[in-house]
Amino acid sequence: MAKPMSPETIAAQAGGLVDETTGSIIPPIQTATTYIRDPDNQYRRGYIYGRPDTPNVRHAESVLQQLEGAAACFLFGSGMAAATTAFLALERPAHVVAPEVMYWALKKWLADDARTLDIEATFVDATNPEAIKAAIQSGRTRMVWIETPANPMWGISDIVDIASLAHGAGAILGVDSTVATPVLTQPLALGADIVMHSATKYLNGHSDVLAGALAFARKDAVFDRAARMRSNLGAVLAPFEAYLLIRGMRTLHVRVRHASASALRLARHFAQDPRIVEVLYPGLQSDPGHAVAARQMQGGFSGMLSVRVKAGEAAAVRTAANVKIWKRATSLGGVESLIEHRASVEGPGTPCPPDLLRLSVGLEDPADLIADLEQALG
Ligand SMILES: *Cc1c(COP(=O)(O)O)cnc(C)c1O
């Protein structure tokens, strides 16, 4: 048998699909919401109705499933739809352990809304396996959730260690791998049970699609409930968005490697700058997460870093106001570099330091990005 295709080849060719009708090597966009029934009352082609299944969504799911080495993958209309589905698919009542520092909107949902749905979250320092161990309640905890690297300080959680802690207590491990992408980390191979992506970010990569994904290690009970929720709650992805996502994933590997190399260059540069107190980036040897990151990330440490401005919050906001090349906007993982005063976006209660600027490094020449930030720091 031939050697299995590498993920890079799978992504570049979008799984190698060729349209059977025309021979096109690019998938047609199938906008139909309904499909013809065979005269003998069967649906042999596998498509019935657009909510549960459309060819473009299935195609995108199959590419991501292969990149994550998953048993199955589902796409949703946003990352939040995917993440909340992972929690709602747990057997309830459910206790979950989640990071103190994580994607803010999901943390807010867990803290404020999930309780009314019989989901109780304990938030801990997820860069410390001892803290996770102490928070797990054997027999009651259904899932440990981590994000690595985690917004917006890029703390690293050890997937292998935490998977074994979770499994030892009868819980599963869910990983928000949005920032790592399957290029840099394969959480399922390291013991995770569910991988979640905001496909809005690196997977699509062009800041023009909202999408989310769950990839599953096994087709188990949680998978079955997530499958029913995807179909019945209807938070699905539309065909055109799935088409764009497939197009984005074709260049995933080159984009993520380039952004990671540029981010490392920026991190090293600004670590020497007296106007910066601290550069938060797991690629720096001085970073507390570096050793674990070096073990579980291959080929780079992502395109995301944060810098803390010595002169304080007002100076950080002013720096973001002064940039000319960086775009002052939220979100991440696109081809254009973004800068954000993160505490302003997260609002009251955020663990994000007020002097922190979050940087999403895109595909521009890193020398231009460095020069622009240099002049903006003033
Ligand atoms: C953006 C993001 C989400 C939420 O995804 P949406 O597509 O915006 O709904 C979740 N986790 C992380 C790490 C993100 O960056």
Please tell me if the CB atom of residue 103 comes closer than 6 angstroms to any atom of ligand 1.
Answer: yes
* C-alpha radius of gyration, the chain, whole number: 21
Please tell me if the CB atom of residue 262 comes closer than 6 angstroms to any atom of ligand 1.
Answer: no
What beta strand segments (E) does the chain contain? 72-76, 94-99, 119-124, 141-147, 172-176, 194-198, 212-216, 276-280, 304-309, 327-328, 338-341, 356-360
Distance, in Å, from the CA atom of 230 to the CA atom of 118, rounded to the nearest integer, reads 20
Pocket test for ligand 1, best of 103, 177, 338 (most atoms within 8 A of CB): 103
Please tell me if the CB atom of residue 85 comes closer than 6 angstroms to any atom of ligand 1.
Answer: no
Locate 3 and state its tokens.
Answer: 């050697």
Q: What is the pLDDT of residue 1?
A: 58
- Ligand 1 mean position to 198 CA, how many Å? 4
Percent share of the chain, pLDDT over 70:
100
- Ligand 1 mean position to 48 CA, how many Å? 30
pTM of the model: 0.98
- Ligand 1 mean position to 317 CA, how many Å? 23
Please tell me if the CB atom of residue 201 comes closer than 6 angstroms to any atom of ligand 1.
Answer: yes
Please tell me if the CB atom of residue 235 comes closer than 6 angstroms to any atom of ligand 1.
Answer: no
What is the end-to-end Cα distance of the chain in Å, rounded? Answer: 60
- Ligand 1 mean position to 38 CA, how many Å? 41
Q: How many CA atoms lie within 13 A of 220 on its CB side?
A: 13
Q: What is the pLDDT of residues 45-89, one digit of tens each?
A: 999 999 999 999 999 999 999 999 999 999 999 999 999 999 999
Spatial contact of 353 and 343, defined as CB atoms under 8 Å apart: yes
| Residue 283: strand, helix, or coil | coil
Domains and CATH numbers, the chain: 17-250 (3.40.640.10), 252-377 (3.90.1150.10)
Atom of ligand 1 nearest to the CA of 212: 7
Q: What is the mean pLDDT of each run of 10 residues along the chain (378 residues)?
A: 86 95 95 96 95 95 98 98 98 98 97 97 98 96 98 98 98 98 98 98 98 98 97 96 98 98 98 98 98 98 98 98 98 98 92 97 98 97
Residue nearest atom 12 of ligand 1, based on CA coordinates: 103
Pocket test for ligand 1, best of 200, 237, 330 (most atoms within 8 A of CB): 200
Could you please report the per-residue DSSP string of 23-59?
--SSPPP---SB-PPPTTS--TTS--BTTT--HHHHH
Spatial contact of 256 and 300, defined as CB atoms under 8 Å apart: yes
Atom of ligand 1 nearest to the CA of 83: 10
Locate 97 and state its tokens.
Answer: 């352990």
Amino acid identity of residue 155, one-letter, is G
Please tell me if the CB atom of residue 210 comes closer than 6 angstroms to any atom of ligand 1.
Answer: yes
Q: Catalytic site residues?
A: 51, 103, 176, 201
The CA angle 333-339-343, to the nearest 5 degrees, is 105
Q: Give residues with Cβ within 8 angstroms of 266, minimum separation 6.
A: 305, 359, 361, 366, 369, 370, 373
Residue nearest atom 8 of ligand 1, based on CA coordinates: 79
Positive or negative torsion for Cα 47, 49, 53, 56: positive
